[in-house]
Each structure stands twice: as C-alpha cells, then as structure tokens.
C-alpha cells in the first residue's frame, strides 16, 4: 500500500512510537518514573494535587511542541521536494 493510502486509512501515527528497550529515551523515562516514585511520599495531598496538575500541563505543552516540530519538519521536507522538482523535466507539471 502506498503512503497516502496508509495515511488515509489511519495506519500512520507519527505521534506514536515504540520505546526501544535500553535506549537513551527508555532510560530517561525510567529515571523520570523512579524520581516521581521517590517524590510522591514526600508530598502532602495538596502538593500531590498541584504536582498532578503540573504534570498534566507539562504533558500538554510537550504534545503541542512535538506537533509543531512535526508540522515544521514536514513543511521543510515539502519545500526541499518542491525545490528538487523545480528543475526536473516532469511532463504533468507546468513550470
């Protein structure tokens, strides 16, 4: 199946990726979880509520940043392709 068809059928999810065991990302993820587990018992119930709100907000901010980076990268790639094709002799494109 071609990439546009895969995209149409929802088979391409650029925001989802597999965490490779042992990778730097996986190690950092484990460290975050460990530090959160160590921090939780030190917080009062009110502080835990604030911390949960902080994590939710940080997650939303990260999601927006990742989305924006994806869009900018995609646009840059498209600009590269337009420039590459600009000087090509393509029969269906008037230029």
d(CA 55, CA 35): 13
Assess contact for 51 and 57: CB atoms under 8 A.
Answer: no
Helical H segments across the chain, by residue range: 3-8, 24-39, 45-86
Helix, strand or coil, per DSSP, at residue 30: helix
Q: Residue 95: what pLDDT? A: 53
**Per-residue pLDDT reduced to its tens digit, 37-95:** 999 999 999 999 999 999 999 999 999 999 999 999 999 999 998 888 887 776 666 65
Assess contact for 85 and 94: CB atoms under 8 A.
Answer: no
């Amino acid at each position: 199946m071609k990439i546009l068809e895969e995209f149409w059928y929802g088979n391409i999810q650029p925001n989802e990726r597999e965490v490779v065991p042992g990778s730097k990302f996986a190690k950092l993820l484990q460290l975050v979880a460990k530090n959160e587990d160590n921090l939780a018992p030190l917080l009062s119930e009110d502080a835990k509520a604030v911390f949960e709100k902080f994590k939710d907000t940080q997650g939303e901010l990260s999601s927006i940043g990742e989305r924006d980076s994806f869009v900018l990268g995609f646009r840059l790639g498209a600009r590269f392709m337009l420039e590459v094709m600009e000087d090509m002799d393509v029969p269906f494109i008037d230029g």
